[in-house]
């Protein structure tokens, strides 16, 4: 073997060895980056998409002129659970509710936890599809007790929903409408309620920042 060939092989071996040493570092950096991205767009208790990712999907759907609906859910008496049983049980309950919502099938496009005990569904399809998804979500939560750390809890939710009945609606307007309907459902202690301007316009929506 010529001296030139030996030098080339030696150099090649050095490169391979260097890559082998660098691979674990690069892989670690890649995993850290992926983890950081996940944390930025997901809820750490339920693993569901968070408000940021929900809004991203909703805005993208509206930009594509996709007919969408928004369903908001608020757990009834969740504060009592936290106050009497502790935050660990409360977090366990949130996790189990998230599991039930994430198991909902099409036309639910995404299930998210927005904050506290408030969850949201983004639905693609017609007004009837949104109504069906809202009722399915209500039933999924109320269908039976939810097992938590120290027992089984009966859980119900107040559910409000709306649909893109107007082509220029923004994500903020959709969330405000669904919030109004949800607040009405909580006030009346009923099942899922649809936002109807003539009925829910007089119901004071909770003042929340949606952006």
Q: Is the pLDDT of residue 10 over 50?
A: yes
Mean pLDDT of the chain: 83
Q: Is the pLDDT of residue 44 over 50?
A: yes
pLDDT in tens, 176-206: 999 999 999 988 867 799 998 866 544 444 4
Q: Please enumerate in sequence order all residues whose Cβ is within 8 A of that of 48, keeping only pairs 6 or more positions apart, or say none.
A: 42, 98, 101, 102, 111, 112, 113, 119
CA distance readout (Å), 49 to 3, 39, 74, 122, 174: 60, 9, 16, 11, 18
- pLDDT range class, residue 118, cuts 50, 70, 90: very high
pLDDT at res. 18: 58
Q: Which residue has the higher pLDDT, 166 or 171?
A: 171
pLDDT at res. 197: 82
Closest CA to 206 of 122, 116, 139: 116
Q: Answer positive or negative: Cα dihedral of 33, 39, 42, 48.
A: positive
List, in sequence order, every residue forming a beta bridge with 120; answer none if it has no partner. 72, 112
The arithmetic mean of pLDDT across residues 156-174, rounded, is: 89
Q: Is the pLDDT of residue 77 over 50?
A: yes
Give the span between the Cα atoms of 132 and 115, in whole angstroms: 24
Q: Is the pLDDT of residue 145 over 80?
A: yes
């Amino acid at each position: 073997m010529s001296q030139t060939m030996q030098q080339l092989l030696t150099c090649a071996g050095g490169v391979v060895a260097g890559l082998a040493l660098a691979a674990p570092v690069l892989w670690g950096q890649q995993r850290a980056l992926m983890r950081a991205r996940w944390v930025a767009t997901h809820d750490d208790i339920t693993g569901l998409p968070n408000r940021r990712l929900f809004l991203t999907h909703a805005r993208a759907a509206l930009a594509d002129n996709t007919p969408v609906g928004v369903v908001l859910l608020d757990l009834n008496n969740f504060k009592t659970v936290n106050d009497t049983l502790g935050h660990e049980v409360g977090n366990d309950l949130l996790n189990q509710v998230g599991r039930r919502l994430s198991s909902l099938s099409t036309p639910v496009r995404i299930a998210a936890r927005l904050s506290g005990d408030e969850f949201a569904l983004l639905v693609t399809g017609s007004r009837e599809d949104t109504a069906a998804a809202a009722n399915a979500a209500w039933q999924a939560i109320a269908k039976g007790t939810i097992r938590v750390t120290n027992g089984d809890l009966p859980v119900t939710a107040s559910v409000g929903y709306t649909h893109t009945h107007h082509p220029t609606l923004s994500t903020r307007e959709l969330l405000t409408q669904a919030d109004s309907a949800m607040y009405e459902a909580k006030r009346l202690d009923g099942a899922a309620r649809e936002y109807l301007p003539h009925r829910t316009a007089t119901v004071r929506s909770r003042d929340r920042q949606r952006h």
